[in-house]
């Protein structure tokens, strides 16, 4: 069992009160504080992106203009996507929970490059500020995917926004770089790669994607800016260019990006299920390698976003086939998680509820993804609400569930306080039910042919859209209850013990909150991370 000196420190000093004042936070090199700063920023961005979503759903409640014009709809739709993708889900788990716990999980005092870590946060904030500035200049309306030729022609602040995305991409690259070096070089003695928690395997695989894929987004956005500024003609068909090439370049990053979004979430789920089943994870090696496998295969499938773009049939068939392969490592994880619970001693506290919610919702999202991988089916479903429902099931039903579960799981460790379990469970109920009410009808709408990104629709789609909008209010309520739970816990929560859940990974051997240097004595590892029985 892992040994670490948790009781050595008699004083009340921890990373939160080690130094005080806002300047000590803004210049901190402590990975835990940086994680908290990301937590606050990302939560704020999520609120903004969420408000955009509520506005969209309000507009779509009935046909015709309800609360906004068509142009405004295109703008709100774009900002919802851009904010959620670049400012919430991609940084999300790695930057918040990864920053906080990766070093602790491997027995290290910090990440490999603490100054770069702080720089990553500043880059995200700079990019976000620049992105929000476009709300005051010419709001963009291209969709978060910036497809050409419209993104070349539109008179909105596309260049500013893509520069913002470029800067946020740099933030992501540096985080990934930091994590790879940390996992390679800073593991405590005895912490072999097969003893690191699965959360670390997930973050490691994600980091590889961040480093290898994001630069291509960088050059794509640069080329788009050049195209707008000089009319070079690479992506503009009127000038002899190829708009599909833009899509190739864009999705070469953006498909691995969706795995940047989901892999860390799967890592969190592995932790939650092992701890709350009081059982060692089933198939540790398989789950570890499946993370790497998903990361690897993710580079070969981007064309499945382009089946109807004008891409050749040959390329489409190749992409379709390889896409189906990615279901294999993903399914391995799902089965292993369920097998972990089998004959385990399952505790149903709120983090576990979120983990179970993940299993259910991600299964639906994943299976519909396989459906979309089938080329002829996608020809029918592309750009309909079926796709919208699919990716919300995996990103919200998947990643967001995992973030919530992770937040509640690690809240006592991060802040030294317990939150109110009852309100946390209530938030889960609202989010889970609300999510299905919002997005399941969208599968049906998509099958019925309702196009996505459209401001208006035929009356036949009316009732399902109304149901979907009501669902969005339920989700919002759930997140507000969750926010209340967090704030209430911070202000009035009971003092948390070192290990409220009976977890076996290294963070539970230190105090809640952890001391500034994580461990008083460098731990020596003699066993795996889930040695329950």
Partner 1 sequence: MSTDSHSAHGHEHHYAHHFRSAEHEYLTSKEGIWLFMVTEILMFGGLFVGYSIFHNIYPEMFAEGAKSLDWKMGFINTLVLIFSSLTMALGIFFLQKNQPKKAAMSLAITILCGAIFMVIKYLEYTHKFHLGLFPGRYLDVAKVGAEHANLGMYFGFYYCMTGLHGIHVLLGMCLISWCLFRTIRGDFNPNYYTAVEGVGIFWHIVDLIWIFLFPLLYLVG
Partner 2 sequence: MVHSHEDSQGHHITPFVVYLKVAGALFLLTFLTVIAHHFNQQLGVLAAPVAFMIATIKAILVILWFMHLKYDSVTNRVIFGAGFFFLALLLAFSGLDIWTRVVEYSTL
Among residues 36 and 207, whose Cβ is nearest to partner 2?
A: 207
Helix axes 462-492, 421-448, angle to 10 degrees: 160
Chosen residue from 299, 473, 484, 517 binding partner 2 by CB under 8 A: 299
Q: List the x/- string, 304-333, binding to partner 2 by CB under 8 A.
A: ------xxxxxx--xx--------------
Backbone conformation region of residue 236, classed left if phi is above 0, alpha if psi is from -120 to 50, else beta: beta
Distances (CA, A) of 405 to 109, 267, 422, 455, 532: 25, 11, 14, 34, 21
Q: How far is the CB of 242 from partner 2 (least distance, A)?
A: 7
Cα–Cα distance for residue pair 235/254, rounded to 1 Å: 18
DSSP structure string for 263-322: HHHHHHHHHHHHHHTTSPPTTHHHHHHHHHHHHHHGGG-GGGG-TTTT--HHHHHHHHHH
* Residue 209: how many other CB atoms lie within 10 Å: 25
Q: Which of 81, 94, 293, 303 contacts partner 2 by CB under 8 A?
A: 303
Residue 252 found at the interface with partner 2 (CB under 8 A): yes
3-class DSSP state of 33? helix
Which residue carries 């946020």 as its tokens? 168
CB of 148 to partner 1, least distance (A): 13
**Nearest residue (CB) to partner 1, 40 versus 222:** 222
Q: Is 443 in the site for partner 2 (CB under 8 A)?
A: no
In Å, what is the CA distance from 500 to each residue of 181, 424, 504? 31, 16, 11
- Where on the chain is the footprint of partner 1 (CB under 8 A)? 29, 103, 108-116, 173, 177-178, 180-181, 184-186, 211-212, 214-216, 218-220, 222-223, 226-227, 230-234, 239-242, 245, 249, 517
- Closest to 451 measured CA to CA, from 73, 67, 50: 73
Contact status: 212 vs partner 2 (CB under 8 A): yes
CB 38 within 8 A of CB 124: yes
303 binds, among partner 1, partner 2, none (CB under 5 to 8 A by kind): partner 2
What is the SS3 assignment for 179? helix
Q: x/- contact string, 168-207, with partner 2 (CB under 8 A)?
A: ----------------x-----------------------
Taking CB within 5 to 8 Å according to partner kind, which of partner 2, partner 1, none is near residue 318?
partner 2
Distance CA 334, CA 467 (A): 30
Contact pattern from residue 221 through residue 250 relative to partner 2, giving x for each residue in contact according to CB under 8 A and a dash for the rest: ---------------------x-xx--xx-
189 vs 502, beta carbon nearer partner 1: 189
Which among partner 1, partner 2, none contacts residue 234 (Cβ within 5 to 8 A by kind)?
Answer: partner 1
| First CA to last CA distance, the chain | 12
Which one of partner 2, partner 1, none interacts with residue 69, CB within 5 to 8 A by kind? Answer: none
Smallest distance, partner 2 to C-beta of residue 319, A: 8
Which residues here bind partner 2, judged by CB under 8 A?
Answer: 184, 212-213, 216, 242, 244-245, 248-249, 252, 299-300, 302-303, 310-315, 318-319
């Amino acid at each position: 069992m892992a040994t670490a000196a948790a009781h050595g420190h008699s004083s009340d000093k921890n990373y939160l009160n080690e130094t005080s004042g806002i300047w000590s936070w803004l210049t901190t090199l402590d990975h835990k504080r940086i994680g908290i700063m990301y937590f606050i920023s990302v939560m704020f961005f999520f609120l903004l992106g969420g408000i955009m979503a509520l506005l969209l759903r309000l507009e779509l409640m009935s046909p015709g203009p309800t609360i906004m014009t068509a142009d405004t709809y295109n703008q709100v739709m774009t900002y919802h996507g851009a904010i959620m993708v670049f400012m919430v889900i991609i940084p999300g788990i790695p930057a918040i929970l990864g920053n906080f716990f990766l070093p602790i999980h491997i027995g290290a005092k910090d990440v490999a490059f603490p100054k770069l870590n702080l720089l990553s946060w500043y880059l995200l904030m700079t990019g976000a500020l620049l992105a929000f500035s476009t709300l005051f200049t010419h709001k963009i309306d291209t969709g978060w995917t910036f497809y050409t030729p419209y993104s070349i022609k539109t008179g909105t602040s596309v260049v500013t926004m893509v520069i913002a995305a470029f800067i946020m991409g740099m933030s992501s690259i540096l985080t990934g770089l930091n994590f790879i070096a940390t996992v390679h070089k800073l593991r405590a003695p005895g912490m072999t790669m097969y003893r690191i928690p699965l959360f670390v395997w997930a973050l490691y695989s994600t980091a590889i994607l961040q480093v290898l894929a994001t630069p291509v987004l960088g050059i794509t956005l640069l080329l788009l800016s050049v195209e707008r500024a000089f009319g070079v003609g690479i992506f503009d068909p009127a000038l002899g260019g190829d708009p599909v090439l833009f899509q190739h370049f864009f999705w070469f990053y953006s498909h691995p990006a969706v795995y940047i979004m989901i892999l860390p979430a799967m890592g969190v789920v592995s932790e939650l299920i092992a701890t709350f089943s009081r059982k060692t994870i089933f198939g540790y090696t398989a789950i570890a390698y499946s993370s790497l496998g998903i990361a690897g295969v993710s580079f070969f499938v981007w064309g499945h976003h382009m089946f109807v773009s004008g891409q050749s049939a040959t390329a489409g068939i190749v992409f379709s086939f390889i896409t189906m392969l990615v279901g294999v490592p993903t399914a391995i994880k799902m089965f292993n998680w369920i097998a972990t619970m089998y004959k385990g001693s399952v505790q149903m506290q709120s983090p576990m509820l979120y983990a179970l919610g993940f299993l259910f919702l991600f299964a639906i999202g994943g299976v519909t993804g396989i459906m979309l991988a089938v080329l002829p089916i996608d020809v029918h479903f592309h750009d309909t609400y079926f796709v919208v429902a699919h990716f919300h099931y995996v990103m919200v039903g998947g990643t967001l569930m995992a973030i919530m579960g992770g937040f509640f799981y690690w809240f006592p460790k991060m802040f030294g306080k317990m939150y109110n379990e009852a309100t946390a469970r209530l938030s889960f109920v609202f989010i889970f039910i609300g999510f299905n009410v919002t997005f399941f009808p969208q599968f049906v709408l998509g099958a019925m042919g309702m196009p996505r990104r459209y401001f208006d629709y035929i009356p036949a789609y009316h009732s399902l859209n109304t149901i979907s909008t009501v669902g969005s209010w339920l989700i919002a309520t759930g997140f507000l209850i969750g926010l209340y739970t967090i704030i209430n816990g911070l202000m009035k929560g009971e003092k948390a013990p070192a290990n409220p859940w009976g977890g076996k990974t290294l963070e539970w051997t230190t105090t809640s909150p952890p001391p500034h240097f994580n461990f008083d004595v460098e731990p020596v590892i003699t066993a795996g991370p889930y040695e329950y029985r």
